[in-house]
Amino acid sequence: MQLNRIRVGEALALIGAAVVVVSLFLDWVEVPEAVFTRSVGADAFAGGVGVAGFDIAGWALIALLLLVAALALTLVVLTVAVEPVGLTMASAVATAFFGILVSVLTLLRLALFQPDAGLGDENVTLQLGAYLSLLGVVLCAAGGWITMKDERQSAPYSAAPDLEPRPAPPADAVA
């Protein structure tokens, strides 16, 4: 395990994964004033009440956000564990691909299909948790992208092996 192998890409992915997980526990929406409704199963919904990401984001988006966080963590673990470069690059590709995809889906969910707890868009406001989820998944995607770009050519373990040159074939050898 070599922690000195973590570079900018892996650090961004790790920070993004942590931000995504934390964002799901924070409030995504808040009802700023008293809104009375029976659609949420209560007689009244008091103003200033927030709803966390796990309660309002929808199971598909939650699963995708957690998938991106898990892929980002896998990228960091494979890098630190000095696994073969192929595994690390495959993890970076998956992190970047799903990170970009889920970034777009999260942006659509927050901008167009805003979670409203059944109260209507005009009665709720997006809170810090919603924006942090978008930031975290973008950081994961950027981390995967930067890791793919970084070929670690300056690292000592990436240096070409020092091989003995093979002797030239004899002049009378037939091709």
Assessment of whether the complete model's pTM goes beyond 0.85 = no
pLDDT by residue (tens digit) across 18-38? 999 999 998 887 766 555 454
Cα 85 to chain centroid, rounded:
20
> What's the mean per-residue pLDDT of the chain?
82
**pLDDT of 139:** 97
Q: Which residue shows structure tokens 């009802």?
A: 31
- Kindly state the tokens that stand for 101: 């995809």
Contact 13, 140 (CB under 8 A): yes
Within 8 A by CB and 6+ apart from 63, the residues are none
**pLDDT of 164:** 87
Q: What is the mean pLDDT of residues 93-106?
A: 96
Alpha helices in the chain (DSSP H): 8-25, 53-56, 59-80, 85-111, 128-149
Other CB atoms within a 10 A radius of the CB of residue 113 amount to 12
Residue 96's identity, in one-letter code, is: A
- Kindly state the tokens that stand for 133: 């989820």
pLDDT by residue (tens digit) across 41-87? 555 555 566 667 777 778 888 999 999 999 999 999 998 887 777 88
